[in-house]
Amino acid sequence: MVTPMVQQRSEQLDAVFHALSDPTRREMLRSLSSGPRSIGELAAPFSMSFAGASKHVKTLERAGLVNRSVEGRTHRCSLAPAPLAGAADWLRFYERFWNDRLDALERELRKPERGSARKGARHE
């Protein structure tokens, strides 16, 4: 049985990876890493409409990666990087997994060959 806390973490992780799956949203996050931006400023490098950029921002908000505030008619977005830590933890597990397996493979490949060459046999 999946506990509610585990389910919640899983849904959060799913939302983060979904948000990161799009290059436009990744670039928006990169832009926000240097400070808050309006949705218009986030849209500008992509020549997209406010509505198109707003859809991307909503996906980032659902993942908890962006906070949005409204100042008059301007929607300001700021980076909320905390959910990225959960994604990084998940990736680190697999990084260790593959590093361990590749290290084991390297050890096997570095072992001297056994029985494949007869002692004193010549190779031509």
Report the half-sphere exposure of 121 (CA within 13 A, side-chain side). 7
3-class DSSP state of 104: helix
Report the pLDDT value the prediction gives residue 8, as an integer from 0 to 100.
53
The DSSP string of 14-72 is HHHHHHHTSHHHHHHHHHHTTS-EEHHHHHGGGT--HHHHHHHHHHHHHTTSEEEEEET
Q: Which residues contact 27 (CB under 8 A, 6 or more apart)?
A: 45, 46
Task: Enumerate residues 6+ apart whose C-beta is below 8 A from 36.
Answer: 76, 77, 78
Interatomic CA distance for residues 83 and 24, integer angstroms: 18
Q: Which residues contact 46 (CB under 8 A, 6 or more apart)?
A: 24, 27, 52, 53
Per-residue pLDDT of the chain in tens (124 residues, 90 and over written 9): 555 444 557 888 999 999 999 999 999 999 999 999 999 999 999 989 999 999 999 999 999 999 999 989 999 999 999 999 888 888 887 777 676 777 778 788 888 876 555 555 555 4
Whole-angstrom Cα distance, residue 94 to residue 86?
13
Domain architecture of the chain: domains with CATH: 4-82 (1.10.10.10)
pLDDT at 117: 53
